[in-house]
């Protein structure tokens, strides 16, 4: 019962966020939903923050969660990487290749937006371990297996 109530509140919160979001936030949500929604596990994307051609979208799906870093290139949003808490700071965003002023703006916007997120949902964003870089098509490149190189 409590789980269903929580899920309903999260969906409602996501819908309210979508209702007041701008076109970039909507485009980011649409991209993530079209890429990762499953019939048995819908993606909940909120909050989404945007700054100068970059965005961070917090997401949950079932019992998993994380954050996606996206870039707008020629009017088209693409996923750069997925992570957990590893992309919350301006320093981490700079290491991901974002200009210092934009990284600071994005990190500040994310911190502000996440203040309204319930603590249990916020904790879910940290469940994504590591950092998964994506290619231009939104796919993660295969991991290089050193064991197969030993001949």
8 A C-beta contact, residue 46 and residue 58: yes
**Residue pointed to by tokens 């940290």:** 126
State how far the Cα of 31 lies from the Cα of 90, in Å rounded to an integer. Answer: 24
For the whole model, what pTM was predicted? Answer: 0.77
Contacts of residue 62, Cβ cutoff 8 Å, sequence gap at least 6: 41
Residue 77: strand, helix, or coil? strand
88 with 67: CB under 8 angstroms?
yes
Degrees, nearest 5: CA angle 12-93-18: 20
Q: Tens-digit pLDDT profile for the chain (151 aa)?
A: 544 444 444 444 444 444 445 899 999 999 999 999 999 999 999 999 999 999 999 999 999 999 999 999 999 999 999 999 999 999 999 999 999 999 999 999 999 999 999 999 999 999 999 989 986 554 544 433 323 333 3
E strand or H helix at 129? none
């Amino acid at each position: 019962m409590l789980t269903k109530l929580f899920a309903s509140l999260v969906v409602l919160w996501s819908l309210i966020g979508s209702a007041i979001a701008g076109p970039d936030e909507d485009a980011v949500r649409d991209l993530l939903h079209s890429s990762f929604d499953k019939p048995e596990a819908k993606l909940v994307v909120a909050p989404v923050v945007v700054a100068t051609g970059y965005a961070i979208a917090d997401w949950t799906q079932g019992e998993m969660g994380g954050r996606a870093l996206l870039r707008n290139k020629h009017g088209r949003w693409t996923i750069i990487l997925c992570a957990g808490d590893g992309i919350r700071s301006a320093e981490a965003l700079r290491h991901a290749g974002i200009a210092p002023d934009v990284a600071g703006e994005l990190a500040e916007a994310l911190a502000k937006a996440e203040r309204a997120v319930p603590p249990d949902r916020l904790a879910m964003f940290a469940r994504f371990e590591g950092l998964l870089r994506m290619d231009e098509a939104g796919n993660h490149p295969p991991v290089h297996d050193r064991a197969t190189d030993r001949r």
